[in-house]
Structure 1
Amino acid sequence: MMNKLLITGASGFLGWHLCQVAQTQWQVYGISNSKKNDIKNINIIQLNLTDFKALKTLFKDIKPDALIHAAAQSQPNFCQQYPEISYQINVGVSLEIANLCAELNIPCVFTSTDLVFNGLNAPYSETDPVCPISYYGEQKVLAEQGMLERYPQTIICRMPLMFGSVPDHATSFIQPFIETLKQGKELSLFIDEFRTPVSGNSAAKGLLLALETTQGILHLGGRERLSRYEFGKIMAEVLNLPSHLIKSCSQGDIKMSAPRPPDVSLDSSKAFNLGYQPLLVREALQRIEKQNNKR
């Protein structure tokens, strides 16, 4: 009988990829908030994570052997506009999950973000001091620190910008890009915002590796530092989209609720040394295109 892995945020982009990858090694239980989505071979439970009483009952009933907490309100602009709502999800729920994992003494992985940094001293390693400039980044820092206080065995995985194929109920940042170009419209992308993007599949494999091999903080960025504009050009080339429609712009050209750091590239050499092997962006996009053509 395989051990039980509980995944929060199973209906989201990262959670969906986690369910796909984890089911070969684990008996997977996925918590979904608003959507009761069927994922093949996965036990999906519909639950509002802010209902701590129901969450505690679920832990007692399932008795998971490990947990990956991927649920979040991850839109920085939403968090900036609605800090109290997003705090409840990003911080309050995370601290309660740390308490429940501590009671069972099980491995607990928390998915944090590269946006805990201000973008002025990249690339960032795990030992660099955090310095968020948005409410979303602040909330993730509070969750990191609070979870480690309540349950020091928590594994904090800081995730980069993620992309990939998605089910009907989720999206990554590339789907709107693809749709815009397919419609023959211009797409403006930042030339002054740098990340270390990684595919959802590679990110999921990295999280499962972290679950089994490490403690403390781990960066799971990709191997390349790219601007959104550079990423868009590679994407258009691989997916045969009209790259001439991609125009360059600066962060300052777009009015946004949440401030955005210029460069939060992650130094993920610690994870690479553990065996984390994310595909290069071009390779990952080629694989996604191949899978889509098979459908």
Structure 2
Amino acid sequence: MAKIIVSGATGLLGRALFARLYREHQVIGLGYSRAQPPIVKADLFDKDAISALFTSHRPNFFIHSAAERNPDKFDNDPEHSIKFNCAVTEHIAKCCEQFNCKLIFISTDYVFDGRNPPYAEDAKTNPLNLYGQSKARSEVLLQAQYPHAAIVRIPVLYGEVNYLGESAVTVIAEQLKNGATRFDDQCQRFPTDTADIAEALAGAINTQGAQLQGMYHLSANERLTKLEMAKLMAPQLGLDPSILAATAVDTSGSATRPLDCALKDTRLGVQGIEIKSDFATRIAKVLTPHLSQ
């Protein structure tokens, strides 16, 4: 049994990580505005408080899943968002090094420009927006100064949500409920269930433990545009998919999105750790609790 701290444990991915790892390990989940026991309220900007957590718990692993993930929010408050994604990560990395703790840093496929997919772990990064740039900056820092860290790049996520607008995937269902019929059909995405990410990381920790190091890619294998996702969700909402059509451009946000950031896994798959999921089946289960709301 390992002792694991999970930051962002009240978020979409963090909740799934906490729930899965809690079954086999001693897990301390960190949250802030939504933190309720057993989640520990922690301000990640408070360096002294984070250092004290390491001193008190002396974890074997720290999974840093907390981040500002909405590319459009960077345009509204870039200074705060970059500090959250970069400075906080650097301090956590320093603490991990001091306490001989394995850092697992959650990154994104948005570190790529989407022009030459699929991207292997050693592919050159070229982010198109501030969100991707902030994650790429943290990756460079970790690779240069904290090479024992594990960096896990993931694509767009969905999973059990508190409200449909909580993820960039389930928000499509909310838009459908509100009458939207046109969606982007250009950007290629690989929507991945947070439960699958959590299961894969649990497997990696259990089988490789402290040997986890360097860059990893973790993604579902279904390639879908927003329009294609909307058509798969439509029947759940009692809508005919044939009424849905493509927009000329993606107007859902202001930040530039890459067209295709397919992640090629050359490391975890050979260890038997991979994600094979049926999006239509999974998203139906996710949406069901929200259909009457």
Alignment TM-score, normalising by the size of structure 1: 0.89
Counterpart pick for 1:208 among 202, 205, 211: 202
Counterpart pick for 2:66 among 53, 71, 81: 71
Letter of the structure 2 residue corresponding to residue 243 of structure 1: P
SS of the equivalent of 1:195 reads coil
1:188 CA drift (Å): 2.6
Letter of the structure 1 residue corresponding to residue 273 of structure 2: Y
The residue aligned with 2:217 is 219
SS of the equivalent of 2:197 reads helix
1:179-258 matches, within 5 Å, as 179-183=174-178, 185-212=179-206, 213=208, 214-237=212-235, 240-251=238-249, 254=251, 256-258=253-255
Contact 2:173 2:230 (C-alpha < 8 Å) held by counterparts:
no
SS of the equivalent of 2:203 reads helix
Distance in 1 separating the partners of 2:247 and 2:50: 44
Q: Residue deviations 1:134-172, cap 9 Å, x none? A: 111110011111123332111100010111222369822
Q: Residue deviations 1:181-225, cap 9 Å, x none? A: 234x02432111012221111111222334343321111111122
1:59 CA drift (Å): 1.0
1:175 CA drift (Å): 3.0
Counterpart pick for 1:264 among 261, 267, 276: 261
Distance in 2 separating the partners of 1:191 and 1:171: 22
Distance in 1 separating the partners of 2:119 and 2:195: 23
Distance in 1 separating the partners of 2:180 and 2:114: 28
Q: Residue deviations 1:230-266, cap 9 Å, x none? A: 1221232466544245331143x52743111111111
* Farther-moved stretch of structure 1 (241-250 vs 5-14): 241-250
Alignment TM-score, normalising by the size of structure 2: 0.89
Coordinate RMSD, CA, aligned: 2.3
Q: Which runs of 5+ in 1 are unaligned?
A: none
Summarize the Cα distance change of 1:273–1:168 in structure 2 as closer, same or farther, 3 Å threshold.
same
Summarize the Cα distance change of 1:290–1:190 in structure 2 as closer, same or farther, 3 Å threshold.
closer
1:16 CA drift (Å): 0.7
Contact 2:157 2:191 (C-alpha < 8 Å) held by counterparts:
yes
Summarize the Cα distance change of 1:255–1:204 in structure 2 as closer, same or farther, 3 Å threshold.
closer
SS of the equivalent of 2:152 reads strand
Counterpart pick for 2:117 among 108, 122, 133: 122
SS of the equivalent of 1:68 reads strand
Counterpart pick for 1:147 among 142, 149, 162: 142
SS of the equivalent of 1:167 reads coil
Distance in 1 separating the partners of 2:57 and 2:12: 24
* Farther-moved stretch of structure 1 (137-146 vs 199-208): 199-208
Contact 1:32 1:46 (C-alpha < 8 Å) held by counterparts:
yes
Letter of the structure 1 residue corresponding to residue 282 of structure 2: A
Number of residue-to-residue matches in the alignment? 286
1:64 CA drift (Å): 1.1
Letter of the structure 1 residue corresponding to residue 67 of structure 2: A
Distance in 1 separating the partners of 2:29 and 2:233: 31
* Farther-moved stretch of structure 1 (156-165 vs 207-216): 207-216
Distance in 1 separating the partners of 2:55 and 2:165: 29
Q: Which runs of 5+ in 2 are unaligned?
A: none
The residue aligned with 1:282 is 280
